[in-house]
Structure 1
């Protein structure tokens, strides 16, 4: 069931152009959508989820016009937005039952079976009768996935799902997403590169409302083979000289020194050593390059 996006454009009333003729094709399984804050990811997700209208462009889901056939799409859609609100005094069990009714699951037996299975799947069964206001951040995100999975959706959208989670909850949540993504389209929109590296076999990077890279993470890494170099720098003046002379990929603190990673076609000398490229290198370079689109087949 492919999702095809063509020429999608959106400008808000304040003049901000969030999407600029964006084109993207998403197939089954986990698809990672990377980009910095303000890149247009959330605008794209809300548009796919039928929560707002584009100014121009088309979105098709397995022959369904997403822009014009909203009700049909909503029956096939599960959505976990970045800001997910819940009624604080209601239990997870009661809330899922309520949402299931709203999604058209009128059979009490079918509804009971589905809700109980989802609470088990998201590891919330023991806390099913507790008020949602008592849930931790990770538990609320897992509840968000449970409600997104109601009625067996064919397309699931999750927007920045691991932001703010501690390492244990993040790992648990990613394992849950991975299990879900085997049978349906799951779009994971995030600015956390590590989430995409761990989960997704296809990805796109968005910058300034446009796709600047689309393809498999492994193939994106191959484009940087033998072109990433690293050096530990402790002197600020040396760091400034490197920044002036070389194409910096990233600079981060490591043991009190700066680990400087640069892009170079050949050995830049000056004490730099070759290192394996990682997905963060791809991400930083494509964000820096901006509007130059690269598609990796």
Structure 2
């Protein structure tokens, strides 16, 4: 299942340029779409999901023109938006059954078997008869994946799925996504770097509607090998001085002190130590380069 996005642009009536001639190729795997809030990720996902049209550009899904053959695409698509509504008084069982009818699953036996399988797969079987309004944030997200999997989609889009989840629920959700991706193409749109690092063999970083990097996390990390340096300092003034003199990628608080991470071909100054690069370094470096350009 190949998704090819070419030259996609979108400007909203308020003048915000959400997408700027954006092109991506997504193969049959878990693909991470990483970027800050407001980067254009949700606009891109809604466009691929046939919920809005771009101003220009094309999208092809295994030879299907996504922008012209929307009904054909919807038969292959599962979508979990950043926010999705449910009937709060309905149980998960009743809601999934209702959605299965809307998906065109006319056989009651097939519908029942599919709903039961999805409830077990998402670990919601024991709570299947409880009202959705009683579900925790993580349970609601797992229900969202269950509804996205109805009718065996070939392409699944999940938009910021782990935002707001506690660590235990996040791990459950990521494990679920990983198991699903063995059989379908999953696009994971997020601003959480660890989600992409843990799940995705391919990824892209976008910001201000543009692709900054496309490739594998491993290749991106190799490009920074031997070029990341770290120093812990005590004051904001020291951090400011480093930001003015060096290519600071990020700063983190560690035990009340500031860990400053710098990109340089060799040791940038006294007191710095070489450190292993991580995907967060790749992310912040590409964002910083865009600002500089």
TM range (shorter): over 0.9
Q: Deviations over 1:147-197 (max 9, x none)?
A: 000000000000000000000000000000000001111000000000000
Q: What displacement does 1:240 show?
A: 1.9
**Structure 2 partner of 1:197:** 197
1:93 match: 93
Report how many aligned residue pairs link the two structures: 293
| Structure 2: runs of 5+ lacking an equivalent | none
SS in 1 for 2:72: helix
User: Which residue does 1:8 correspond to in 2?
Assistant: 8
Give 1:291 deviation, angstroms: 8.0
Q: Is the 1:249–1:263 contact (alpha carbons within 8 Å) kept by the matching residues of 2?
A: yes
SS class of match (1:290): helix
Within 2, Cα distance between the matches of 1:163 and 1:14? 27
Name 1:102's counterpart in structure 2. Answer: 102
Q: Sort the Cα spacing of 1:216 and 1:291 in 2 relative to 1 into closer, same or farther, 3 A.
A: farther
In structure 2, C-alpha distance between the alignment counterparts of 1:287 and 1:240, rounded to whole Å: 19
Aligned to 1:212: 212
Which runs of 5 or more structure 1 residues have no equivalent in the other structure?
none
Give the structure-1-normalised TM-score.
Answer: 0.97
2: CA distance, partners of 1:16 / 1:88: 34
Map residues 178-193 of structure 1 onto 2, 5 A cutoff. Answer: 178-193=178-193
Q: Does 1:125 align with 2:121?
A: no
Once the two structures are superposed, residues 76-99 of structure 1 have per-residue CA deviations (whole angstroms, 9 ceiling, x without a partner) of 000000011111000000000000
TM-score w.r.t. structure 2 length? 0.98
Report the Cα offset of residue 292 of structure 1.
Answer: 9.7
Secondary structure of 1:158 counterpart: strand
Write the distance in 2 (CA, Å) between the matches of 1:238 and 1:167. Answer: 33
Distance 1:236 1:290 in 2: 25
Does the 8 Å CA contact 1:92/1:132 hold for their aligned counterparts?
yes
Per-residue deviation, 1:269: 2.4
Q: Determine if the alignment matches structure 1 residue 152 to structure 2 residue 152.
A: yes
Q: Distance in 1 between matches of 2:229 and 2:54?
A: 42
Structure-2 residue corresponding to 1:116: 116
Q: What is the alpha-carbon distance in structure 2 between the residues aligned to residue 61 and residue 201 of structure 1?
A: 20
Deviations 1:1-39 (A, max 9, x none): 100000000000101010000000000110000000010
- Note the C-alpha offset of 1:241: 1.4
